[in-house]
Amino acid sequence: MKFGVLILEGPYQHESSDSAYHFTKAALEKGHEVLRVFFYQDGVINSTKLMEPQADDRHIQRQWSELQEKYDLDYVVCVAAAKRRGINDDVIGPGFKIGGLGMLTEVAIEADRVVQFGA
Amino acid sequence: MGEEEKGEKLMIVFRKAPYGTIYSFEGLENVLIMGAYDQDISVLFIDDGIYAIKAGMETEAVGIKNFSPTFRAIEAYDIEKLYIDKDSLEKRGLSIDDLVIQPKVIDAEQVESLMEEQKNFFMF
């Protein structure tokens, strides 16, 4: 199946980001396609490399970046939501890119299912 | 509508009250962008989401822009399939006349069948 993934919540405060990560990873391991992961609303904060969790905790941005590298995934961080929250090209981690909200519509058209995490 | 079928069936659902959180405002931004893609778009207001289109919001005291009137722009974006859940209105003591736009009032069964038709959803 062709999936799109939409994340609306920020890291650590809310489990949505972790759930989205585990879903994306599991879908790929099962041989499904993930056309795009779209970070919207507070979800854009998952992309910042400025996060520094304690050493015994997961590093949410790095987890996402490593998964992107392994599967060559398409990660889009919504520009309007990012600007509001101080996220820009200087702070996003490897594998993320800033893009327009229209790229969420595109994946809703192309994917068999958009799976939303948060809200 | 008698027009040619256009695009995929996509639905945006407003479920949360405005201003307390940003869900509905950024949900509205999503609707306005989607309108440019020439798809078969439906918008549903349900639960506290109906407050997003309540007329007469006075938001000055909380220092947040009143964005409810912006919902009127939806029709200008060629999105004509606007729905509101009957039960949600009644439970909150509101009527269609209390709103800035006039979506079609539908009951729970109609909500269900409408949702069954859709390809993808966004919930805000």
A8 Cβ under 8 Å from any chain B Cβ: yes
Proportion of chain A above pLDDT 70, given as a percent: 100
Among A41, A42, A48, which Cα is nearest to A95's?
A48
CA distance B30 to chain A (A): 7
- Reported ipTM: the value is 0.92
Residues 6+ apart with CB under 8 A from B57: B18, B19, B66, B68
Q: Which of A67, A76, A78, A111 is the catalytic position? A: A78
pLDDT value of residue B78:
84
Q: Does domain A2-117 have CATH number 3.40.710.10?
A: no
By Cβ distance, the residue of A81, A100, A106 closest to B26 is A81
**Cα(B28)–Cα(A66) distance, integer angstroms:** 33
Please state at what angle helix B23-34 crosses helix A102-110, rounded to 10 degrees.
70
The 10s digit of each residue's pLDDT in A20-29 is: 999 999 999 9
By Cβ distance, the residue of B26, B33, B119 closest to A102 is B33
The 10s digit of each residue's pLDDT in A41-74 is: 999 999 999 999 999 999 999 999 999 999 999 9
pLDDT value of residue B3:
53
Q: What is the 3-state secondary structure (H, E, C) of chain B?
A: CCCCCCCCEEEEEECCCCCCCCHHHHHHHHHHHHHHHCCEEEEEECHHHHHHHECCCCCHHHCCCCCHHHHHHHHHCCCCEEEEEHHHHHHCCCCHHHECCCCEEECHHHHHHHHHHCCEEEEC
**Cα(B21)–Cα(B29) distance, integer angstroms:** 14
Among B124, B115, B32, which Cα is nearest to B71's?
B32
Task: Kindly report the pTM of this predicted structure.
Answer: 0.94
**Minimal-distance CA residue of chain A relative to B14:** A119
Instruction: Please report how many Cα atoms fall inside a 13 Å half-sphere around the Cα of residue A48, on the Cβ side.
Output: 18
Q: Which residues of chain B have pLDDT under 50?
A: 1-2
**Cα(A95)–Cα(B18) distance, integer angstroms:** 33
Token pair of A43 as six digits: 């979800």
- Residues of B within 8 A of A13 (CB-CB) are none
- Helix (H) and strand (E) counts in chain A: 4, 5
> Which residues is A98 bridged to in the sheet?
A77
Active site residue A78: yes
